[in-house]
Amino acid sequence: MNAPGVTAASPDVGARLVEGRGELSGAVVTSLRTGLSPAYAPHAVDADPWGEDFQLALYLLYELHYHGFKGVADEREWDPELLRLRQDVEGRFLQALRAHLAEPPQTVGEAFASLLVEPVDLTGSLSHQLETTGELWQLREYAALRSLYHLKEADPHAWVIPRLTGRAKAAMVAIEYDEFGAGRADRIHARLFADLMIDLGLDPTYGRYLDQAPAPLLATVNLMSLFGLHRALRGALVGHFACVEVTSSPGSRRLAAAMRRSRAGPAAERFYAEHVEADAVHEQVVRHEVIGGLLADEPELEADVAFGCAATLLLEDRLTAPILAAWARGQSALRTPLPRAEADASHTRS
């Protein structure tokens, strides 16, 4: 089920630079294209921290620390003016997160209690809807959105490794080893997701669907980068990672079933099937060894770990609601629907 013109599963290095969505992101795009310092009015940083302009600007600034952009010099990663802007923007983002979690959990037990038991009522769960009633076009949209993370899966979490010691470091490295294919390039999870995209008739080029991703999706990826790039937020990154691992196995089981029901293809099903067993093991390791080891060394970070989990759930909820609302209306959840020719080709092959 290869998309027209798609012949390989490996994503290209370096994303295509997209157009801005307002003054702030427009200033970042212009700066990256011209090599000049970003030019913007001071009030632009005060834009809605949940809005399209703000979240795209932050995403673009963070992406310089990953694969970068085609035509943009690698040296821009450490451009002092871009870093100064990033500091202002991410500070406002962190402030907004803390404001929306007015009474965040303070302990790991509080943060994870509700996640350790499968809820009876799965209303409002994206994976449940895709498993039970999801259509192929919705699975494709979901994959296109999630590609902004899954094509660099585990990369943001790797930043925490040099910031850990002892048990926590050893356990984190063991989990990341699995995430990166256990020594096999064809088993790297980002590669498996690229294969999934090809089965769904999507383009696996790195960053291909950035322009179509709405602000709530960008925020979920920006959260990982925010936590990963700051040593002071290492506890929050561990909390985020643990939250993802705890919720991954049941969600992946439902998504594997959704891919199987829709006959999306073997690679599409395999990606999620791989996560059912692996993440069930990872959940135990991350809770008992990564979190346990971290808090044995630095008990003062427990509230940060809890915050990381709570912030993750907050942003996932903010993403899920508009997607389900759009689909309930029979509309695309993307900023612009997938190209008609691409969608038609996928339905024909299925």
CA nearest 276: which of 260, 263, 300?
A: 260
Whole-number pLDDT of residue 9: 39
Whole-number pLDDT of residue 341: 42
Three-class secondary structure of residue 15 per DSSP:
strand
SS (H, E, C) 168-210: HHHHHHHHHHHHCHHHCHHHCHHHHHHHHHHHCCCCCCCCCCC
Torsion 209-63-96-20 (CA) sign: negative
Residue range(s) occupied by CATH 1.20.910.10 in the chain: 108-349
Whole-number pLDDT of residue 43: 92
Q: Do the beta carbons of residue 110 and residue 64 sit within 8 Å?
A: no
Whole-number pLDDT of residue 5: 41
DSSP assignment of 40-81 equals: --GGGGGS-TTSHHHHHHHHHHHHTTTT-BTTS-GGGGG-HH
Rounded to two decimals, what is the model's pTM? 0.91
Q: What is the pLDDT along the chain (350 residues), one digit of tens a residue?
A: 444 344 343 344 579 999 999 999 999 999 999 999 999 999 999 999 999 999 999 999 999 999 999 999 999 999 999 999 999 999 999 999 999 998 889 999 999 888 876 654 677 789 999 999 999 999 999 999 999 999 999 999 999 999 999 999 999 999 999 999 999 999 999 999 999 999 999 999 999 999 999 999 999 999 999 999 999 999 999 999 999 998 888 899 999 999 999 999 999 999 999 888 777 778 889 999 999 999 999 999 999 999 999 999 999 999 999 999 999 999 999 999 998 545 444 444 44
For tokens 């932050």, name the residue.
58
Torsion 100-106-108-111 (CA) sign: negative
CA nearest 220: which of 77, 304, 316?
A: 316
- Cross-strand partners of 15: 69
Whole-number pLDDT of residue 12: 43
Whole-number pLDDT of residue 336: 96
d(CA 78, CA 338): 34
Structure tokens at 43: 């009030």
Domain 108-349 adopts which CATH fold?
Heme Oxygenase; Chain A (1.20.910)
Helices (H), 101-160: 108-112, 126-132, 136-150, 155-158
Q: Do the beta carbons of residue 129 and residue 254 sit within 8 Å?
A: no
DSSP assignment of 233-253 equals: GHHHHHHHHHHHHHHHHHHHH
Torsion 237-252-116-105 (CA) sign: positive
